[in-house]
């Protein structure tokens, strides 16, 4: 599959989006698609069962250095996504990206610029960008 450049994606969304040109419609669709991503991830545990959740307090040794934190932080889930759940989650994330691009179009924001700025920011802040 050919890799799509994010600017091309944003342009295609602009071409295709007819029904949700209103900022209110796009905001509510963006929020709706976000909840569908969360729901799809939840269903990997509650319906499919390919993932399980086992959450406990993060237990970081007192003498651990900041750089060591990653190895002590638990994701609180076990297992691997099955192919079906992976496809569903990818699809829901795609829908969410569609409405994120739609919002950017309405607000005249360039998604590629935002991504570049964010990349530079996290690259500069490095390990201190935890919160």
Q: Which residues contact 111 (CB under 8 A, 6 or more apart)?
A: 6, 7, 9, 10, 100, 101, 104
Q: Which of 45, 82, 93, 106 binds Zn ion (CB under 5 A)?
A: 82
Burial of 43 (0-12, 13-18, 19+ CB in 10 A): middle
What's the closest the beta carbon of residue 48 comes to Zn ion, in angstroms? 3
What's the closest the beta carbon of residue 38 comes to Zn ion, in angstroms? 15
- Closest to Zn ion by CB, 48 vs 106, is 48
Residue 79: its H or E element: strand 77-79
Residue 7 CB neighbour total at 10 angstroms: 14
Is residue 93 near Zn ion by the rule CB under 5 A? no
Report how many residues bind Zn ion under the rule CB under 5 A. 5
- Which one of 30-38, 81-89, 100-108, 117-125 is the stretch in contact with Zn ion (CB under 5 A)? 81-89
Is residue 6 near Zn ion by the rule CB under 5 A? no
Write each residue from 41 to 70 as x if it is in contact with Zn ion (CB under 5 A), else as -, in one continuous string: ---x---x-x--------------------
Tell me the HSE value of 33 on the side-chain side, using a 13 A CA sphere: 19
Q: What angle do CA 73, 58, 46 make, to 5 degrees?
A: 85
Instruction: Point out which residues bind Zn ion (CB under 5 A).
Output: 44, 48, 50, 82, 85
């Amino acid at each position: 599959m050919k890799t799509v450049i994010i600017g091309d994606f944003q342009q295609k969304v602009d071409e295709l989006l007819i029904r949700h040109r209103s900022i209110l419609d796009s905001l509510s669709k963006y929020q709706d698609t976000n909840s569908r991503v969360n729901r799809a991830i939840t269903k990997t545990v509650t319906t499919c069962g390919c993932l399980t959740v086992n959450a406990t307090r993060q237990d970081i040794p007192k003498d651990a250095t900041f750089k060591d934190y990653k190895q002590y932080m638990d994701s609180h889930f076990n297992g691997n996504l099955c192919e079906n759940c992976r496809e569903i989650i990818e699809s829901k994330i795609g829908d969410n990206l569609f409405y994120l691009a739609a919002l950017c179009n309405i607000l005249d924001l360039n998604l590629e610029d935002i991504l570049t700025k964010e990349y530079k920011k996290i690259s500069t802040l490095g390990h201190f960008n935890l919160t």
